[in-house]
Amino acid sequence: MTKIISGFSKFTKQEKINWIASTFFTHGDEAISILQKYWNDDQGLQQLHDEFIENTVSNFYVPYGVAPNFIINGKTYAIPMAVEESSVVAAASLVAKFWSSRGGFNATVISTTKIGQVHFMYEGDFTELNAYFQDVRSELFRATETITKNMRKRGGGILNMELRNKSDKLDNYYQIHVTFETKDSMGANFINSCLEAIAHRFKKEGIEIVMSILSNYIPECLVRAEVSCTLDELGDNGAEFARKFQQAVQIANVEPHRAVTHNKGIMNGIDAVVLATGNDFRAIEAGAHAFAAKNGQYQSLTHCEIHNNVFKFWIEIPLALGTVGGLTALHPLAKLSLELLQKPSAKELMQIVAVAGLAQNFAALRALVTTGIQEGHMKMHLQNILNQLGASENEKQQLIMYFNKRPVSHSGVVEAFEKMKSQKI
Ligand code: MEV
C-alpha cells in the first residue's frame, strides 16, 4: 500500500486517524484507541488545541509541575514548569528552598533589544547602494508606520536601521540590520511584518531581496541572575564544596564537551518555564547556544567566583520572551502560568526564567561534585521504572520504601519487583 497521500489536511480528524492506523500499524485499533484516549472531553478546549496546528490528531501531554519558594529580588514565586524529565522540578524546588534562606536570587535585565534583517544581493557599487539607502531610510520607517502604531503607543517600535556590507563573507551580500523594542511581546510577528514592509519599499532594479526575517540571536536582549553567600553558609564543608563547584564551572568554560551538557542542564530549567508560559523554547534554545559560543568557543552560560570568603554564582543569557500575544493568552495553561507568576512583565519573566536556569545548574553541579547525579536521578526515575513494570499502587509504595535507603538501578528494581511478586520481600 502506498504511504504517499494527497489532500490529507482536508480529511476529518477521524479520517486522518483511520488512514494512519491502516497505513502504518499492524494493530490499527490499538493506535486509534491511544490517539483518542488523549482527546479532551471539553469540545471547546479540544477544538482550540486542534486549531493551533495543522493535521492535529491527538494531544501530547507533558507533566506540568510547580516549584515553590523562589525568592527573586525579594518577591516570592511558585514557578510553573512543563517538563518530562523526572528530576527537574524536584531539583528546582530543593534549590529554591536552599537559597530562600540565603538571600534568594537577584536578577537584572541588562538590555531588551531584538534584531531582524532584510538579506539581499546587489552587484553594483557599495557607495551608490549606501547613497540609495540613506535616501530612502526615512521612507523605510514610514513604510512600517501602520504596523508599528500600537507598539509605538506602548513605548516600543523600530530603534534603528542600518545598511551592512557583508560582501567580504559572500559575494554581493548585504543586509538591512534592524533593531526593535517589543515591550511585553516576544515580537516575532511584529518584527517579521516590519521587515517585509521594509524590504518591499527598499527593493528596486539591481537589488534582489533574498529574505526578511527576525534573528533568534539577540545578545542585547540580556538578563543576569545571581546568588551569593558566605562560604560558611554553604554548609559544613562550604569552602571545599565551593572550590569544587567553581572547578566544575571552569571545566565547562574550557571544554566544549562538558559545556554542552552543563548548558543542557541549564536549559532543563529554562525550557520548562518557557513552555509553561506559552513561549517559544526553540527560539530560546537557539539564541542561548549561539550566545554560549560568542567568544569563538562553546562555553558555560554560568559563572562562578569565590572572593573574600563569598561564593557568587551567576548566569547571563539572552531571552526573547513575551507575556502578551502569541500563545500566552490563547493557551489556558499558559495564561494560568502567567497568573501564577503574578502577571509578570516580559522583563520580569526574563528574570524568572534566568533564575530557573541558574537554579537547575546549581542543583546539577551540587550533585555532580558531591554524591553524583545518579542517586537523586534514579530515585526520581524509580516511579517510571515501576510504571513500566506495571506495578500496582500498593507494590509501588512498598518498593519506594524498600529503595529509600538502597541505590536504585534498573536491574535492581526489576529484581526486587520480581522477588516481591514471588512474596520474597
Ligand atoms: C541532565 O538532564 C542534566 C545534567 O546532565 C546537567 C549537567 O551535567 O550539568 C545533569
Sheet holding 222-230, edge to edge: 106-109, 222-230, 310-318, 302-307
85: annotated active-site residue? yes
Helix (H) or strand (E) holding 389: helix 374-389
0.75 cut: is pTM over it?
yes
Residue 168 is given by DSSP the state T
Give me the percent of the chain exceeding a pLDDT of 70. 99
Give me the percent of the chain exceeding a pLDDT of 90. 92
Which amino acid residue places its CA nearest to atom 9 of ligand 1? 262
| Span of 24-28, 282-286, 300-304, 390-394 with lowest mean pLDDT | 390-394
Which one, of 223, 221, 186, 258, lies nearest residue 358 by Cα?
A: 223
Report residue 375's pLDDT band, with 50, 70 and 90 as the boundaries. Answer: confident
| pLDDT tens digits, 219-276 | 999 999 999 999 999 999 999 999 999 999 999 999 999 999 999 999 999 999 999 9
Q: Does residue 424 surpass a pLDDT of 60?
A: no
Sheet holding 157-165, edge to edge: 157-165, 173-181, 114-122, 207-215
| pLDDT tens digits, 382-423 | 888 999 999 999 999 999 999 988 888 899 999 999 999 887
| Distant-in-sequence, close-in-space partners of 419: CB < 8 Å, separation ≥ 6 | 425
Residue 371 has what pLDDT? 86
The active-site residue out of 16, 280, 348, 381 is 280
Which amino acid residue places its CA nearest to atom 6 of ligand 1? 265
Residues in a beta bridge with 212:
118
Q: Does residue 377 surpass a pLDDT of 80?
A: no
Q: Which of 264, 270, 302 to mutate to test the pocket of ligand 1 (most atoms within 8 A of CB)?
A: 264
Report residue 374's pLDDT band, with 50, 70 and 90 as the boundaries. Answer: confident
280: annotated active-site residue? yes
